[in-house]
Amino acid sequence: MLKDIFMNLSKNQFLNSAAKKYGLKMGAQSVVAGTNIDEVMKSIKELNAHGISCTVDNLGEFVCKEEEATEAKEQILKVIEAIREHKVDAHISLKPTQLGLDIEYSVCLSNLREIVDRANNYSIFINIDMEDSGHLRPTFDLLDELSIEYDNVGTVIQAYLLRADEYLEKYKNYRLRIVKGAYKESNECAYQNKNDIDKNFIKLIEWHLLNGKFTSIATHDHMIINHVKEFVKRKNIPNEQFEFQMLYGFRKELQLRLANEGYNFCTYVPFGNDWYGYFMRRLAERPQNLNLVAKQVFNKQTNTVIGVAAAAFLLGRMTKKTKKKKRR
């Protein structure tokens, strides 16, 4: 139920607008690396100093106008220029919907092509993030078209999808990030049980480590991380073939420990005013994230904001049910 609450809250445009107004004062400052490029560059330099590379996400939700997609593209181009100017160890992660995928495929492709081309000039990698299953096919289509001209582009495979192994095999020659998955999906296309997802997650990681190109293993689960460490040692897989990834602000000590142990480590660094949807999905993704955030993020103000948001959502559901009963 709690997961459903946060997933529904992540799609609430009213609360998203309110979050932009109040900025990171609502408590997300520990998991979002600032609201502008200068702030995110400072955060990246701090992580680089500890031997940690970064993938930068210019946050954005609810893009429904072409000018908004263009604005997002221009911001990402500025981030690419900043990465080059500051000479930091970082690349880009982006969502196709932010670049206009829900407006028109050609709009998104044009914006994304400009980004990939600019990044290619500077040898900067572009990771196309996966969103919900409704955007799966067009996202793969974008990757297929762009990879004809460029080799600095890759994507994400979500382990909760029933057909994830098919996607992994098809794109084995790409740099891939393997994740469990953060969206609410039906049992027609995705596993619902945590054990099933974890089992598939490990299977996909092992397969790509043995058969694929560079593998980004995105998890905060120390048990899975330990499993991978034992697996690569047993199979003599060099560290240069993979990296661990975690979200900015989560399990900081473990991030530093893995980097100090000599593993490639990359932190997913989100920034910008449009942080609300990202923040809510992180809370919904796994119950453990609630515990992590409670330790590192929550204060009285944050609890109040999220409590009010959750109450507003529940009240809205109750109101809808009451109206339905009246109609009957």
Produce one character per residue of 142-173: b if its CB has 16 or more CB atoms within 10 Å, e if not: bbeebbeeeebbbbbbbbbbeebeebbeebee
Integer Cα distance of 246 and 250 in angstroms:
7
CB 309 within 8 A of CB 32: no
**129 part of the active site:** yes
Task: Give one word for 167, left, alpha or beta, with left for phi > 0 and alpha for psi -120 to 50.
Answer: alpha
Q: Which amino acid is at 123?
A: S
Catalytic site residue from 175, 177, 251, 282:
177
Please identify which residue in the block is written with the tokens 């299953």. 133
Point out the catalytic residue in the list 102, 129, 198, 274.
129
Give me the residue label for tokens 């408590």. Answer: 27
**Three state DSSP letters for 163-177:** CHHHHHHHCCCCCEE
Pairing verdict, β 153-158 and 176-179? parallel
DSSP string covering 175-224, please?
-EEEE---S---TTTB--SHHHHHHHHHHHHHHHHHHSS-EEEE---HHH
Between helix 105-121 and helix 66-86 the angle, nearest 10°, is 10
- Residue 16, classed as helix, strand or coil, is helix
Spatial separation of the C-alpha atoms in residues 326 and 328, rounded to whole Å:
5
Annotated catalytic, 144?
A: no
Asked if residues 99 and 312 have their Cβ atoms less than 8 Å apart, the reply is no
* Sign of the CA dihedral with 137 first, then 127, 169, and 185 last: negative
Q: Which residues are catalytic?
A: 129, 177
